[in-house]
Amino acid sequence: MAHTARPAEAGRTGRPTLAVVGATGAVGTVMLQILSQRADVWGEIRLIASPRSAGRKLAVRGEETEVVALTEEAFDGVDIALFDVPDEVAERWAPLAAARGAVVVDNSGAFRMDPDVPLVVPEVNPHAVRTRPRGIVANPNCTTLSMIVALGALHAEFGLRELVVSSYQAVSGAGHAGVRTLREQLSLVAGTELGTSPGDVRRAVGDNTGPFPEPVALNVVPWAGSLREDGWSSEEMKVRDESRKILGLPALPVAVTCVRVPVVTTHSLTVHARFEGEVTVDKAREILATAPGVVLFDNPAAGEFPTPADVVGTDPTWVGRVRRALDDPTALELFVCGDNLRKGAALNTAQIAELLVAER
């Protein structure tokens, strides 16, 4: 019997085929929501995850779609493949997908610093997407992405010279496991008087602290990622290296401290940015108020500044507390918030994929 295309399918004939690899994960889940919300430029959307998830059905564009296991054949006919999987899985499978003809947009850390892989933020360096000798485009880390759109706009006007950053990172930055851990710990400490003597929170939540080295409920943890040289964390090195690469400033001095806080989703950062010459708050506010992808929300007298509780689920980078440094007329102080699963991961990936479609 001849296959009769449903109206939605018929309208999609001739459009590129998209694969979402890691469709069941924290980033993958938000990716499916974003693909359902943005202009539909795709033909087939194929959902791929580990063999554990094969056969599960997930909704994308209002249609139930079956998840298939990651195999080389899963990339047959795929034009663009979005990878939202752990580093080691991306490292092995992204080149295989590229060899089968797909352009890969990878959300992991596997290729970001590869000189033959562009690291792209569409509002800051969209031109970089065109040069991709390995057939792979990398998506920056969520902490870098949560601030770089605002910084890129300020850099274009003032010329960035130095960056000092502290992050306040949400637990979903560590995937589903991070969210599960915070919620379990919160249920163990809720309604108690804990948090008043050394170690009482740790005893209540037990030894299993999930992906974090310390309890994260009722706490802040000055650590994200794994140990690198001289006491730096991998997350801190990513913010430094990736900011330099995206902004095209390979020698930019960057000092970073990454901290995990008991927030489900949305990373926040305090930023001290020093520029080439004197800056004014008025000019900085004008730039931030008009930069694409940035919302200036800055009226402390009225109690208005961005916080994760309000920013979560939104697309832009929110900026508040804009001040000129007290002791340096060339520097600005900012507080920045961005949803780490949307602009910090899935949204930026979707925007890169749309740049690739426009190129076709």
Annotated active-site positions, please?
A: 142, 267
Q: Which stretch binds ligand NAP (CB under 6 A): 4-12, 20-28, 120-128, 198-206?
A: 20-28
Q: 37, 32, 88: which is closest to 60 by C-alpha? A: 32
Least Å distance between CB 204 and ligand NAP? 26
308 to 347, contacts with ligand NAP by CB under 6 A?
A: 340-341, 344-345
Both tokens of 66, joined, read 């079956």
Contact 209/188 with Cβ under 8 angstroms?
Answer: no
Q: Tokens 């694969």 appear where?
A: 19
107 binds ligand NAP (CB under 6 A): yes
Count CB-CB contacts under 10 A for residue 52: 10
Please tell me whether residue 86 binds ligand NAP under the rule CB under 6 A.
Answer: yes
Distance between CA atoms of 34 and 45, rounded to whole angstroms? 13
Residue in 68, 85, 154, 205 binding ligand NAP, rule: CB under 6 A:
85
Q: How far is the CB of 20 from ligand NAP (least distance, A)?
A: 9
Of 201 and 246, the one with the shorter C-beta distance to ligand NAP is: 246
Q: Is 208 annotated as a binding residue?
A: no
Q: Which is nearer to ligand NAP, 53 or 181 (CB)?
A: 53
Is position 16 an interface residue for ligand NAP (rule: CB under 6 A)? no
- Which are the contacts of 3, defined by CB distance < 8 A and separation ≥ 6? none
- Decide: 93 and 83 in contact? Cβ < 8 Å: yes
Quickly tell me which residue has 């249609």 as its tokens: 63
Say how many residues touch ligand NAP, by CB under 6 A: 30
What sections of the chain are H helices per DSSP? 7-11, 26-37, 87-99, 142-158, 175-189, 200-205, 234-247, 281-290, 308-311, 347-359
Residue 27 binds ligand NAP (CB under 6 A): yes
Tell whether residue 172 is among the known ligand binding residues.
yes
Q: Residues 193-212: x/- map of binding to ligand NAP (CB under 6 A)?
A: --------------------
Count of CB atoms situated within 10 Å of the CB of 37: 12
Closer to ligand NAP by CB, 12 or 342: give it.
Answer: 342
* Beta carbon of residue 201, minimum distance to ligand NAP (angstroms, whole number): 24
CA distance 118 to 293: 21
Among candidates 163, 158, 122, 171, which has minimal Cα distance to 317?
122
Does 175 contact ligand NAP by CB under 6 A?
Answer: yes
φ/ψ of 309, rounded to 5, equals -60, -30
Query: Between 26 and 284, whose beta carbon lies closer to ligand NAP?
Result: 26
Least separation in angstroms between CB 351 and ligand NAP: 14
The answer on whether 130 is annotated among ligand-binding residues is no
Report if residue 355 touches ligand NAP, rule: CB under 6 A: no
Residue positions in the annotated binding site for phosphate? 112
Residue positions in the annotated binding site for NADP(+)? 24-27, 52-53, 172-173, 340
